[in-house]
């Protein structure tokens, strides 16, 4: 131990110091708002995905799996009760909850812990120079999506931390250090793929390395690992995923190929890339002009892509093989994700998925060999402009802090739900344990659309499921809804229909009401 500490004392001290950076950034972000970290309060957030993630983890910790279905328009998984996204994604939160318990601030504390561990392991494995550490600290601090997602109930930080660890292991492998690094890269990439399917891109590097080492045997083993991973994700999506409102991936451009029309398919791809590319560019310019969140992400993503390509060229010219492979591989992943965004994703939802690759890009830029810091300065200034100066949208950037009104509302509903609702434990998962949340209701008098105060559903007893439904679905299936409970805006047409149907009112607070369906 003494020898280890003597040989690694400096890097351990550096790793411990850099590991404090995520917490310091979180504390600073809260302090700038005149608040503290302990005041972060998920029910004050407008990001409704957080509700599903939080309540699913709560159900897992309380009962092994939620006893009510999570879904959309009363869709549900073929097996168990999870929503549209892979439940593997939240396993780090589950492990955290098993050790420390689960409460409204648990995702935030777990996110900070994950980024702390990622930073520590990155420095320990890569052993950056003092200059590189300074550049990393600067870029991490100004790329505020790191901090915003830490202070949320979104699992993006889980992907950030794993991608940062992946980059550290890849760097260590390219330097020829460490036994078992290639195996660790395979395990990490496979696990990441089971969380988010596009992260299967990260399997390609260890596959290529294994093929170079073992030739045909490596190719066969790599193909087996790739096939098993893809098949495992397909099984998870098929059996454990509930159908979303619309398909999560746009795959219409593949139909001509399935029908044997190769040339028509290629033409369709080019046409789609052209028109979607114009939309992408327009949003990017709007992000630079007004700060629209998805456009800001696109702009920073393109800058990182340009830096990776430029550095790859310089690495090639100067014979820096390891750096060339690392930066070139990341550039390939960026280009692949850009194509995926244009072909398969909706723009706003797609922008969120780019952040995982951007997290690795931030760390990669800090490692680039440079004398005059031009890349870091340019990237840092752009991040400050996009994610601080232009970060004016409260929905996208405002940290959710507790406010007395929301706290009183959630706690009042907690008492109501505890008194009026009983979790059924037979024949589960069951619609008897499902609460429909009507996303919004249109005012028939032309007064616009009223969103339902869905935040009250954080107060549901452990194990209940939530089905987010469109107003049109509830109206069309009003007499045949499968779920046991219904949440709608107070004073609207849907509440009038509930009253006329003789459904039991469990509670109402002036903005939202919950009925037991008969």
Q: Given this model, what pLDDT does residue 419 score?
A: 95
- 50 lies in some domain: no
Unique residue bearing structure tokens 């892979």: 86
CB 197 within 8 A of CB 251: no
Point out which residues pair with 438 in neighbouring strands: 469
Q: Which secondary-structure segment (H or E) carries 326?
A: helix 321-344
| Structural tokens at position 365 | 């830029």
Q: Which residues of 401-422 are buried (b: 16+ CB within 10 A; e: fewer)?
A: bbeeebeebbeebeebbeeebe
Q: Which residues of 335-361 are buried (b: 16+ CB within 10 A; e: fewer)?
A: eebbebbbbbbebeebbbbbbbbbbbb
Q: Is 349 a residue whose pLDDT tops 80?
A: no
- If asked whether residues 254 and 364 sit together in one domain, one would say yes
- If asked whether residues 375 and 315 sit together in one domain, one would say yes
- What are the two backbone dihedrals, phi and then psi, of residue 484, each rounded to the nearest 5 degrees? -90, -25
Q: pLDDT, tens digit, for every residue of 1-28? A: 777 667 678 888 999 999 999 999 999 9
- If asked whether residues 391 and 415 sit together in one domain, one would say no
Name the domain boundary from 370, 397, 424.
397
Q: Is 370 a residue whose pLDDT tops 90?
A: no
CB 22 within 8 A of CB 112: yes
Q: pLDDT, tens digit, for every residue of 405-450? A: 999 999 999 999 999 999 999 999 999 999 999 999 987 666 688 8
- If asked whether residues 100 and 18 sit together in one domain, one would say yes
Q: pLDDT, tens digit, for every residue of 31-69? A: 999 999 999 999 999 999 999 999 999 999 999 999 999
- If asked whether residues 505 and 358 sit together in one domain, one would say no
- If asked whether residues 485 and 353 sit together in one domain, one would say no
| Structural tokens at position 505 | 């009112």
How many whole angstroms separate alpha carbon 192 and alpha carbon 187? 9
Assess whether the previous peptide bond of 429 is cis (omega < 30° from 0).
Answer: yes
| Structural tokens at position 35 | 């608040």
How many whole angstroms separate alpha carbon 34 and alpha carbon 39? 10
- 445 lies in some domain: yes
Q: Is 82 left (phi over 0), alpha (psi -120 to 50) or beta?
A: beta
- 467 lies in some domain: yes
Count of domains for the chain: 2
Q: Given this model, what pLDDT does residue 261 score?
A: 79
- 33 lies in some domain: yes
Q: What share of the chain is helix, strand, coil (3-state, %, to 5)?
A: 70, 5, 25
CB 72 within 8 A of CB 467: yes
- 66 lies in some domain: no
- 18 lies in some domain: yes
Q: Which residues of 98-126 are buried (b: 16+ CB within 10 A; e: fewer)?
A: eeeebebbbbbbbbbbbbbebbbbbbbbb
Per the model's pLDDT, the better-predicted residue between 247 and 51 turns out to be: 51
Unique residue bearing structure tokens 């390609």: 204
* Mean pLDDT score, 302-331: 94
* Mean pLDDT score, 150-174: 96
- If asked whether residues 9 and 157 sit together in one domain, one would say yes
Comparing C-alpha atoms, which of 45, 12, 79 is closest to residue 149?
45
Comparing C-alpha atoms, which of 91, 93, 139 is closest to residue 113?
93
Helix (H/G/I), strand (E/B), else coil: 481: coil
Between CA 109 and CA 134, with CA 164 as vertex, the angle to 5 degrees is 90
Q: Is 168 left (phi over 0), alpha (psi -120 to 50) or beta?
A: alpha
CB 342 within 8 A of CB 277: yes
- If asked whether residues 255 and 325 sit together in one domain, one would say yes
Residue 263: alpha-carbon gap to chain centroid? 36
Q: What percent of the chain has pLDDT over 70?
A: 98
Q: pLDDT, tens digit, for every residue of 111-121? A: 999 999 999 99
Name the domain boundary from 397, 426, 450.
397
Q: Given this model, what pLDDT does residue 351 score?
A: 84
- 77 lies in some domain: no
Comparing C-alpha atoms, which of 146, 230, 226 is closest to residue 194?
230
- If asked whether residues 301 and 442 sit together in one domain, one would say no
| Structural tokens at position 39 | 């005041």
Question: Could you tell me how many helices (H) and strands (E) the chain has, helices first?
Answer: 20, 8
- If asked whether residues 436 and 420 sit together in one domain, one would say yes
Q: pLDDT, tens digit, for every residue of 273-290? A: 899 899 999 999 999 999
The DSSP line for 109-121 is: HHHHHHHHHHHHH
Range of the domain at 452: 404-516
Name the domain boundary from 397, 419, 441.
397
Mean pLDDT computed over every residue of the chain: 93
- 447 lies in some domain: yes
What is the biggest distance separating any 2 CA atoms in the chain, rounded to whole angstroms?
79
- If asked whether residues 379 and 434 sit together in one domain, one would say no
What residues contact 69, with CB distance under 8 A and at least 6 apart? Answer: 76, 77, 81, 242, 429, 430, 431, 433, 434, 465, 467
Residue 495: alpha-carbon gap to chain centroid? 34
- If asked whether residues 347 and 486 sit together in one domain, one would say no
Q: pLDDT, tens digit, for every residue of 439-482? A: 999 876 666 888 999 999 999 999 999 999 999 999 999 999 99
């Amino acid at each position: 131990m003494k020898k280890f500490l003597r040989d690694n004392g400096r890097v351990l001290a550096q790793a411990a110091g850099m590991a404090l950076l995520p917490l310091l950034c979180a504390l600073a972000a809260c302090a700038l708002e005149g608040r503290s970290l302990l005041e972060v309060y998920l029910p004050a957030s407008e990001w409704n995905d957080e509700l599903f993630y939080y309540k699913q983890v709560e159900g897992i910790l309380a009962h092994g799996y939620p006893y009510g279905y999570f879904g959309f328009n009363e869709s549900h998984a073929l097996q168990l009760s999870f929503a549209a996204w892979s439940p593997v994604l939240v396993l780090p939160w589950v492990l955290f909850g098993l050790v420390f318990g689960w409460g409204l601030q648990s995702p935030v504390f777990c996110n900070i812990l994950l980024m702390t561990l990622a930073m520590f392991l990155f420095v320990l494995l890569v052993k950056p120079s003092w200059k590189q550490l300074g550049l990393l600290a600067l870029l991490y601090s100004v790329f505020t999506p790191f901090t915003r997602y830490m202070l949320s109930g979104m699992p993006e930080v889980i992907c950030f931390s794993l991608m940062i660890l992946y980059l550290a292991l890849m760097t260590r492998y390219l330097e020829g250090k460490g036994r078992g690094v290639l195996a660790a890269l395979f395990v990490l990439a496979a696990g990441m793929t089971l969380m988010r399917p596009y992260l299967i891109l990260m399997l390609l590097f260890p596959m290529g390395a294994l093929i170079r080492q073992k030739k045909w045997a490596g190719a066969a083993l790599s193909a087996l690992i790739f096939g098993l991973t893809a098949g495992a994700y397909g099984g998870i999506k098929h059996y454990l995923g509930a159908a979303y409102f619309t398909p999560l991936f746009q795959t219409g451009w593949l139909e001509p190929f399935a029908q044997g029309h190769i040339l028509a398919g290629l033409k369709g791809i080019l046409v789609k890339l052209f028109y979607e590319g114009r939309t992408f560019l327009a949003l990017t310019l709007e992000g630079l002009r007004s700060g629209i969140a998805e456009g800001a992400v696109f702009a920073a993503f393109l800058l990182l892509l340009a830096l990776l390509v430029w550095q790859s060229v310089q690495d090639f010219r100067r014979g820096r093989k390891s750096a060339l492979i690392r930066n070139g591989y990341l550039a390939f992943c960026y280009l692949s994700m850009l194509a995926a965004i244009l072909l398969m994703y909706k723009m706003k939802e797609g922008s969120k998925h780019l952040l995982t690759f951007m997290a690795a890009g931030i760390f990669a830029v800090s490692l680039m060999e440079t004398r005059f810091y031009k890349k870091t300065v340019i990237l840092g200034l752009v991040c400050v402009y996009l994610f601080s100066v232009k970060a004016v949208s409260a929905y996208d950037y405002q940290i959710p802090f507790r406010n007395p009104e929301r706290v009183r509302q959630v706690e009042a509903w907690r008492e109501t739900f505890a008194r009026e609702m009983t979790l059924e434990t037979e024949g589960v998962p069951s619609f008897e344990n499902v609460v429909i949340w009507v996303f919004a209701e249109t005012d028939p008098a032309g007064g616009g659309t009223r969103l339902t105060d869905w935040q009250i559903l954080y107060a549901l007893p452990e194990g209940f499921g939530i089905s987010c439904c469109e107003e049109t679905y509830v109206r069309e299936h009003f007499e045949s809804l499968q779920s046991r409970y219904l949440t709608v805006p107070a004073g609207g047409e849907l509440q009038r229909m509930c009253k006329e149907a003789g459904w039991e009112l469990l509670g109402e607070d002036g903005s939202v009401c919950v009925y037991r369906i008969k």
